[in-house]
Structure 1
């Protein structure tokens, strides 16, 4: 892949010039790390994906004036943490966060907004399908944690399982779901920005 051997600073310089390949290289290099941070803070797979998506959309929309003088990884880490903080301040529930993003997609002009909204809806549907394919006990734990927002200790009491066993099940379930959603994240970003800019 182009830029795979380049430094972060070189990639950012090319992004400043509007190079979409450099932008994709930055995404591929850091999306999983940023997702992990957002996921640890929100405890929800889809919310974490939303926050990462919003950060990368912002980076491209401001690419001409983007300035990162120091460590790029540190800049992205700080940015994602700040966005998580903003997410907590602006959103009282996961449902409202979903509605806000969908509203943004619907406000975009042209066919690309409809395609983006459709893709986003498809991602949510596939997220549920991925959950449905989990083993019964793993699915039960995942749903209690990420859809009913129960804590590890609450799940432990409800299911009479050791906390570490629950953590292990959640880790494996999240890995399975994340692999499925990775492809949707990049596609949704490009659709939100408009397909014409990537030709």
Structure 2
């Protein structure tokens, strides 16, 4: 019951903020930015891989959000709308950097390997974050979109203009690469 009341309050606040932004009120833009910038920065950082690119991408995305706020018809979907714009700016940034997505067709995607001794690895949050940052951009992008942003393989394929089988393969390879990176770093210790 409490969560439902909080969601209703958040919706009312968001509806009010969006209405004020549509009127061009600077204070409302600042509040909207403050409400969403931290979460959206984290998306940018995960996808671009460094703070400078994340900051630039975030600012560009919010400029577009503010320029186009009047197009938002349903204030209740503002979070999804903002997230979509931020993700699209991240993808545009990666395309400009010529991030390569290896196109594969007719390749069987290996299922999870049962019986891997994952417990022997130091699977700390920090180790996993570091390993993800060490991934090639293509792998990291697919992994982030699937795991953290919760897009389906089909949605990712459409966003990146690659086949769904390529997305699945990149995702599986990314997970394997994360395991390898962690295993290598643990072997050095």
TM-score normalised by structure 1 residue count: 0.44
Q: Normalised by the size of structure 2, how large is the TM-score?
A: 0.46
Q: State the structure with more CA Rg.
A: 2
